[in-house]
Chains A and B, each alone.
Chain A
Amino acid sequence: MSHDHESAGRGRLDRRRFLTTAALGGATIVGATALGGIDADAAFAAPMPSLDPAISKSAFAEGRITAINGSVLEVAGSYGDQHLIQLTNATSVWKLRPTTAEEIKVGDGLYARGVDMPDGTIAADAVWVNIVNLFCTVQGIAKDRLHLTHGNNHAVVGRIVAETTTASYLGGALTSDLSRVRIGQSAQVLGAWRPDDDTVDIARVTVGH
C-alpha cells in the first residue's frame, strides 16, 4: 500500500513537472513520456487518465474560444469567467476524433484539463473540443443524419460521419452498422457540436431500450 502511494506521489510530481516544463517551452517531446504515450490515439485509449488527477492540483476550464494566440487559447467561460489555455507538445486534442491543435477554431467550445501555472494560464493535458454527450430520443432517421431530441424536448440533428460514426446496441461492440437504430429508441450520443450550423457530428451512438 505504501509503495502504491509512493509511486503515485512520484508519478504525480513527474507528470506535473513534465507538463509544466512543456508549457514553458523547455521540452521537445518524442515518443512515450511520463504522461503516457502522447500520440492522441494512445492518450485517449488509455484506461488511465493521462494526467494523474490529484484533485487538489488539476485544473478544469470550459467555455468558447474567443481567440487563438500561438499555442494559447483564450476562452470565455459560460459564467463570465476567462481562461487562458496553454497547449503544449503533451496536450491531447479531441475534436470528433483524436486530432491536432490545428483543428481548433475560434468559436469552438471546449473542456480542458490541466495544471494551473504561476502566470494564470492552464497548461492543458487534454482538451476536448465541441464534445457533447447527450441522452436523446430518436425522432427520425435519414441516410446521413438522425433527428433527435434531448433535455426538455429540444431538437438536435446528429450527422452520420462516414468512417467515423459508430453504434453500440445495448452495450454491445461498436459497429459502423446503424441499420438497427429505430425511431423512439433512447440513445446516448457522443459527438462534436458544429458551431456553424448547430448540428452534432456523431462519434458514437449507444442505443438503449
Chain B
Amino acid sequence: MSRSYTCVRVKGTDMACGSTSLWAGETTWFCCGSAWGPCGSTGTGACGTCQSNAHQAAWPNASQACFNITRPDLCGESIARRGCGSVMNVKHQCSGATVCVTVSDCGPRTKSFCGESTCCNGACRTNRVIDLTPAAFSAIGNLSSGKLPVYIYE
C-alpha cells in the first residue's frame, strides 16, 4: 500500500510529504484568505494562514475545539489529530494524481454529511474527511465536481 511520492515545495507547503497511509474518504474544496465573491468573507481559517491559492487543507481533527465542531466520530471515523502545519499527501483514488498540502484550517463538517459517498471506476469512498483549497483540489481534479474520492498519506 505504501508508495513513495515526489512532492515539490510550493507555497504553503514547507515540509516533505510522506507515503504512510493515514486515511481515506471524500475530499471537498473550500475557499479562504483574500478572495473574490462570497469567499471574501471567509477569513484565513482556524490556523490564520489559509489561502485559496496555496496547496492547503482543512482537517477535521486539527484541535479539540475543531473536533467538537466537525465530529467525524459520529460518522464512524476515528480520525487522528493533526494540527496546523501538518503536511499530507492527498491522492485521487482513481487517477493517482497527488498533491502535497499543509493543514491550515478546521474542516470539513463531517457530521453534517454522514454516509455520503463519492465513487470512481466503481469504487467509493465514504464521509468527508478533508477539505482542500482550490489550488490543491484542482491539482488532482476538477473544481466543478465538488468532491473526489481520495487516499491520504503522511
Contact = CB atoms under 8 A, between A and B. Distances in A.
| A and B are interacting partners | yes
Contacts of A133: 28-31, 143, 146
B112 interface: yes
Interface of B: 6-8, 10, 28-31, 33-39, 41-43, 51-53, 92, 94-100, 107-109, 111-117, 120-121, 134-135, 138-146
The binding surface of chain B is classed by DSSP as: loop
Interface in A33-79: 43-44, 46-50, 52-53, 55-56, 58, 60-64, 77-79
B53 A78 contact: yes
A133 B35 CA distance: 13
Given A133-B143, A170-B115, A200-B38, A186 B94 contact: no
A152 B97 CA distance: 33
Given A128-B143, A188-B113, A47 B121 contact: yes
B94 A154 contact: no
B126 to A, nearest CB: 9
Given A46-B142, A134-B38, A208-B109, 16 more contacts: A44-B142, A47-B95, A48-B94, A49-B141, A62-B36, A62-B134, A62-B135, A78-B35, A78-B36, A94-B142, A94-B144, A132-B37, A135-B30, A204-B146, A209-B111, A209-B113
A146 to B, nearest CB: 13
B41 A171 contact: no
A195 interface: yes
